[in-house]
């Protein structure tokens, strides 16, 4: 039979750890828990007040206004003519002789010469007729010459001028102008007369670089009008050369309205996401009223909105918005117009569609 178990002896020292075994595979992730609910969330606070619009900093000065372009031809179609004579002329008859013209500028428009002396207009209008005549007196003592205008064969009252000549073989230039209203088909003649048989209208040939001397030069120019258009006529037009087609003119009409208006325009930019100040010319507040401002954004990939203030007494206004470039247009009223006057209360001048109130 086994004997009784004896007392356990003291534990001996722990032996060295063996090498770590390989890590096992990662177990599957557990299910996501149910989201918790907010507890005791405070109410949303009130929105703070909007700050005042900022002011532009280091805004550059408005650039100077560009020069005004050349004015287009005046009148209904800008009719004109240029004519001259390269032959000497003698007095014929006892009651005066018409100055003759045998050359026409090829660009002449709406004016022509008939029967060598009849300066004929194809369109109604007011025309300025200018001439110069090279006069020679071969007699001694010298005499005088009178020159006047005829319309449709009848002398025009108060159109005569007396030119005194001085010495034998002396030269003088008779030169002045006459302005009058003509209907389509009317013609003008320039007459001259003298009792001095030595007086002639002299032409001379060119010599080297010195041009020839015509005996007579005549230019005719239709007068431009700026008065308002009549109630049934076409709008006022002006002509400029076509920028791309040399065979055509470019015809534009004037803008019309029930007031005398002015406008100013330009381009500017906001760079601080707040505003920029625009300054009109200093004279504007003194002569224009009821100024309205239009602002149009220049697209840069984003649609933007700009707003403008009223124009102040110094001619300044502020444009508000985010950063970006824009075009602006300021339009004002310079003077009032009586749009529907009574005929009995006004005097009307002009002709055709070109009428104005005196």
Residues of the chain with pLDDT under 70: 33, 35-44, 48, 50-77, 93, 141-142, 167-169, 224-236, 350-355, 358
pTM, entire model: 0.46
Tell me the C-alpha distance between 143 and 147, whole Å: 14
- Asked if residue 36 belongs to a domain, the reply is no
Q: What pLDDT was estimated at residue 59? A: 54
Kindly report, residue by residue over 105-159, the tens digit of the pLDDT.
999 999 999 999 999 999 888 999 999 998 888 777 667 889 999 999 999 999 9
Cis peptide before 141 (omega within 30 of 0): yes
Do residue 273 and residue 211 come from a single domain? no
Q: What pLDDT was estimated at residue 346? A: 80
Do residue 283 and residue 218 come from a single domain? no
Do residue 85 and residue 155 come from a single domain? yes
Do residue 159 and residue 195 come from a single domain? yes
- Asked if residue 232 belongs to a domain, the reply is no
Kindly report, residue by residue over 69-85, the tens digit of the pLDDT.
444 444 444 789 999 99
Through-space distance between the first and last CA atoms of the chain, rounded to whole angstroms: 158
- Asked if residue 274 belongs to a domain, the reply is yes
Do residue 99 and residue 198 come from a single domain? yes
Domain count, the chain: 3
Q: What pLDDT was estimated at residue 108? A: 92
Kindly report, residue by residue over 106-117, the tens digit of the pLDDT.
999 999 999 999
- Asked if residue 214 belongs to a domain, the reply is yes
Do residue 248 and residue 295 come from a single domain? no
Domain harbouring 288, CATH code: 2.60.40
Which residues have a Cβ under 8 Å from the Cβ of 321 and sit 6 or more positions away? 270, 275, 297, 304, 305, 306, 307
Q: What pLDDT was estimated at residue 75? A: 40
Do residue 195 and residue 111 come from a single domain? yes
Place of tokens 């030595």: 198
Q: What pLDDT was estimated at residue 86? A: 94
Do residue 122 and residue 200 come from a single domain? yes
Do residue 264 and residue 313 come from a single domain? yes
Question: What is the DSSP secondary-structure string of 333-350?
Answer: EEEE--SS--GGG--EEE
Do residue 96 and residue 138 come from a single domain? yes
Tell me the C-alpha distance between 204 and 173, whole Å: 14
- Asked if residue 63 belongs to a domain, the reply is no
Q: What pLDDT was estimated at residue 232? A: 40
Which range of residues forms the domain containing residue 94?
80-222
């Amino acid at each position: 039979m086994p004997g009784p178990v004896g007392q356990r002896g003291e534990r001996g020292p722990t032996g060295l750890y063996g090498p770590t075994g390989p890590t096992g595979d990662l177990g599957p992730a557990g299910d996501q828990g149910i989201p918790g609910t907010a507890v005791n969330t405070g109410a949303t606070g009130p929105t703070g007040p909007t700050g005042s619009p900022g002011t532009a900093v280091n805004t550059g000065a408005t650039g100077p206004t560009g020069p005004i372009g050349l004015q287009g031809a005046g009148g209904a179609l800008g009719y004109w003519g240029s004519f001259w004579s390269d032959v000497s002329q003698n007095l014929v008859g006892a009651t005066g002789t018409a100055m003759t013209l045998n050359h026409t500028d090829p660009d002449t428009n709406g004016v022509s010469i008939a029967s060598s002396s009849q300066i004929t207009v194809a369109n109604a209008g007011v025309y300025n007729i200018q001439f110069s005549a090279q006069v020679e007196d071969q007699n001694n003592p010298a005499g005088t010459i009178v020159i006047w205008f005829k319309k449709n064969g009848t002398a025009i009252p108060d159109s005569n001028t007396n030119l005194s000549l001085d010495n034998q073989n002396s030269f003088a230039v008779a030169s002045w102008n006459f302005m009058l209203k003509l209907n389509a088909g009317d013609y003008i003649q320039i007459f001259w007369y003298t009792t001095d048989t030595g007086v002639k209208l002299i032409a001379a040939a060119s010599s080297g670089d010195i041009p020839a001397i015509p005996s007579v030069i005549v230019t005719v120019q239709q007068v431009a009008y700026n008065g308002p258009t009549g109630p049934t006529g076409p709008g006022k037009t002006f002509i400029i050369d076509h920028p791309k087609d040399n065979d055509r003119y470019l015809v534009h009409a004037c803008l019309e309205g029930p007031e005398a208006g002015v406008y100013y325009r330009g381009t500017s930019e906001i760079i601080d996401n707040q505003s920029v100040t625009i300054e009109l010319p200093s004279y504007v507040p003194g002569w224009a009223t009821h100024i309205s401002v239009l602002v149009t954004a220049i697209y840069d990939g984003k649609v933007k909105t700009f707003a403008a203030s009223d124009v102040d007494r110094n001619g300044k206004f502020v444009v508000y918005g985010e950063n970006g470039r824009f075009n602006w247009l300021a339009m004002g009223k310079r003077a009032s117009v009586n749009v529907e006057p009574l005929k009995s209360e006004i005097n009307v001048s002009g002709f055709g569609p070109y009428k104005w109130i005196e």
